[in-house]
Amino acid sequence: MVRKTRLLAVVLSLVLVATLVVTGCAQQKPEEKKPAEQPKKEETIRIAHMAPLTGSAASYGYYMINAAKMAVEEINAAGGINGKKIEYFEIDETSNSAQAVEACKKAISLNPVAMLGPNRSGGVLAAEYLWKEAKIPTITDGTSAETTKKGNPYTFRMQVASEYWMPILAKTAVERFKVKKPAIIYGLNDYSKANYLAIVPAFEKYGLKPVTVQTFNDGDQDFTAQLLAAKKAGADSLFIFSYTPEIGKMLKQRAELGMSKIPVFAERAASVPDVEKLAGSENYEGLVTSTTWCTGDPDPKKQEFLKKYESKYGHTISATHVNHYDSIYILADIIKRVGTDREKIREELSKLDYQGVLGHYVCDKEGNLMHWMHTQVRQGGKWVLLDTEEYPVQR
């Protein structure tokens, strides 16, 4: 009997608690739904720039960064883009393919409206899937023709493919310098190999074949064997394709071996001021290179840019590494017209026709923006413009 009484008391207690809970809930006012928080309008316009700030290509990276930053500072000083300032981020990609991927991930995490870089073709090919997935228009560097043949609608290139760097170099060598017995020395990297593969058919158009082809590894210090092989083969010219450190040392060793009278032909890496420091000014004299811009070009706008850059940064310019100055102005012009929607920016880049300070940029069907090339020779401590070619744009 006692057990039944206790059980009844427990049941009644539970019923009472349940009643109080239900009553209390009934008396509570229903929670009012707050309107969804509106996304904050961006107070700045973000642009991320992937460039080599450390590593073997750091000398290129600082020219790129400096030129782009100068454009950003000019635009911001003039009031920005539709009243908004550009927020510019520089990210070190070391010109290493693996690091380019990590740099690209970091750049994307900053939520930019557009990106610049990476510098070398290997980095572009390694990272391009990332900006494709993120749908961020990216203006790259690199000269390998493959970088704009991947079908990536978000890849654009502020550089000229290697297939165009070599024909004009061969033309200048044969027609101006009467070259008949060229020797080729190139580094075992994608960049230098692409130039080698492009120069051979350019020679064939003139009925020429290299008397010898020599190679070396990036980071090599002694090029005696390659230079002497060229001399033994009777070469009347040296076509050297490499990164900055190697060609600088090679020019110096060429003089030490008594080969100074054999002219050297190269491409943009050889026109970086650091090469002259490595080679010595006397060994740099007479060098011929292909280039997208010759500082000896008398065009007033280009000369004004040159003076402004060198006055601001206090060092000699590397002419083929500063076109991202115009990249910033291109993006600013587009954003001013269509806003910060990435897809609209991409669409405008795909039909670009823009006159910049350093050139006239037109986008072809693969995303290439530059379609001209020059050759130049080092004379009296300055670059002198030789030949110029412009290429048809297939849209």
Please write the tens of the pLDDT for every residue from 288-342.
Answer: 999 999 999 999 999 999 999 999 999 989 998 999 999 999 999 999 999 999 9
Please answer whether residues 158 and 370 qualify as being in contact, where contact means their C-beta atoms are separated by less than 8 angstroms: yes
First to last CA, the chain: 98
Please answer whether residues 372 and 340 qualify as being in contact, where contact means their C-beta atoms are separated by less than 8 angstroms: no
What is the pLDDT, as a whole number, of residue 56?
A: 78
Closest CA to 119 of 142, 100, 143: 142
- Asked whether residue 28 carries a pLDDT value surpassing 60, the answer given is no
Lowest mean pLDDT among 24-33, 113-122, 200-209, 373-382: 24-33
Compute the mean pLDDT over every residue in the chain, rounded to the nearest whole number: 90
Residues 50-106 pLDDT 10s? 999 998 788 889 999 999 999 999 999 999 999 999 999 999 999 889 999 999 999
What is the pLDDT, as a whole number, of residue 162?
A: 82
Distance (Å) of CA 91 to CA 123, 134, 153, 179, 363: 13, 18, 23, 43, 26
What is the pLDDT, as a whole number, of residue 58?
A: 87
CA atoms of 50 and 303, how far apart (whole Å): 27
- Asked whether residue 220 carries a pLDDT value surpassing 90, the answer given is yes
Q: Which residue has the higher pLDDT, 235 or 7?
A: 235
Whole-number percent of the chain with pLDDT over 90: 82
Average of per-residue pLDDT across 120-130: 95
With H, G, I as helix, E, B as strand and everything else as coil, classify residue 51: strand
- Cα-to-chain-centroid distance, residue 1: 92
What is the pLDDT, as a whole number, of residue 157?
A: 98
Distance (Å) of CA 294 to CA 173, 267, 268, 290: 17, 12, 10, 9
Average of per-residue pLDDT across 365-370: 97
What is the pLDDT, as a whole number, of residue 295?
A: 95
Element (H, E) at 252: helix 244-256
pLDDT range class, residue 178, cuts 50, 70, 90:
very high
CA atoms of 312 and 388, how far apart (whole Å): 29
What is the pLDDT, as a whole number, of residue 25?
A: 41
- Asked whether residue 22 carries a pLDDT value surpassing 50, the answer given is no
With H, G, I as helix, E, B as strand and everything else as coil, classify residue 187: strand
Whole-number percent of the chain with pLDDT over 70: 89
Q: 197: which residues sit within 8 A by CB, 6+ positions away?
A: 162
What is the pLDDT, as a whole number, of residue 42?
A: 61
What is the pLDDT, as a whole number, of residue 41?
A: 54
CA atoms of 185 and 192, how far apart (whole Å): 9
Average of per-residue pLDDT across 259-286: 96
Q: Which residue has the higher pLDDT, 285 or 11?
A: 285
Q: Which domains does the chain have, with CATH numbers?
A: 44-160+298-372 (3.40.50.2300), 163-291 (3.40.50.2300)
Beta bridge partners of 48: 89, 115
Rounded to two decimals, the pTM is 0.86
What is the pLDDT, as a whole number, of residue 140?
A: 98
CA atoms of 254 and 277, how far apart (whole Å): 15
Closest CA to 118 of 144, 92, 89: 92
CA atoms of 38 and 72, how far apart (whole Å): 29
Lowest mean pLDDT among 82-86, 161-165, 367-371: 161-165
Q: Which residue has the higher pLDDT, 190 or 78?
A: 78
- Cα-to-chain-centroid distance, residue 112: 17
- Asked whether residue 128 carries a pLDDT value surpassing 90, the answer given is yes
Phi/psi of residue 87, each to 5°? -105, 110
What does DSSP assign to residue 47? E
Q: Which residue has the higher pLDDT, 240 or 22?
A: 240
Lowest mean pLDDT among 17-31, 57-71, 306-320, 357-371: 17-31
Please answer whether residues 330 and 352 qualify as being in contact, where contact means their C-beta atoms are separated by less than 8 angstroms: yes
pLDDT range class, residue 16, cuts 50, 70, 90:
very low
